[in-house]
Structure 1
Amino acid sequence: MKTYYDLQQYLKRFGTFIYMGDRVAELEMMETEIREIHRMQMMDTKDYQMAILLIRQQLALETEKQKKIDKKR
């Protein structure tokens, strides 16, 4: 897993489709789903760590993007 798209595809394997129109909310829901999949031991630790790292990176990008938008206002 290296991209947001990879994460979406991974979750689709478990029948999880997340679209809310709010990227931050989607990422938070994905984190919840990934944690649950890992808790049920359906995901190895390496993939879990990579997925959580990817989500945190995406959340940081979205937060930074929102700060720039707020500054322009």
Structure 2
Amino acid sequence: MRTMYDVQQLLKQFGTFIYVGNRLWDIEMMQIEIRELYDSGVIERQVFLNAMMVLKKEHQDELEYQEGLN
């Protein structure tokens, strides 16, 4: 798992589609959903860690992008 698209595809396997309308909020919601899947024992630890790492980087990149617009 290397991209946000990969994380979206993982969530899609469990019937979860996230679109809030704000990319930053989408990423945060995906983090919540991934954590819920892990806490429920549905996904393995390594899958959880990889997904969270991707989302954390995407979140940081999006924050930097939005700050650059101001």
What TM-score, normalized to structure 2? 0.97
Q: Does 1:64 align with 2:67?
A: no
Structure 2 portions without partners, runs of 5+: none
Deviation, 1:20, is 1.4
Deviation, 1:38, is 0.2
CA RMSD of aligned residues (A): 0.5
- SS of 2:56's partner is helix
Shift >3 Å, 4+ stretches: none
Equivalence for 1:30: 30
Deviation, 1:3, is 0.6
| Equivalence map 1:1-73=2 (5 Å) | 1-70=1-70
- SS of 2:20's partner is coil
Aligned residues: 70
When Rg is computed on C-alpha atoms for both structures, the one with the higher figure is 1
Aligned equivalents of 2:23, 2:33: Cα separation in 1: 15
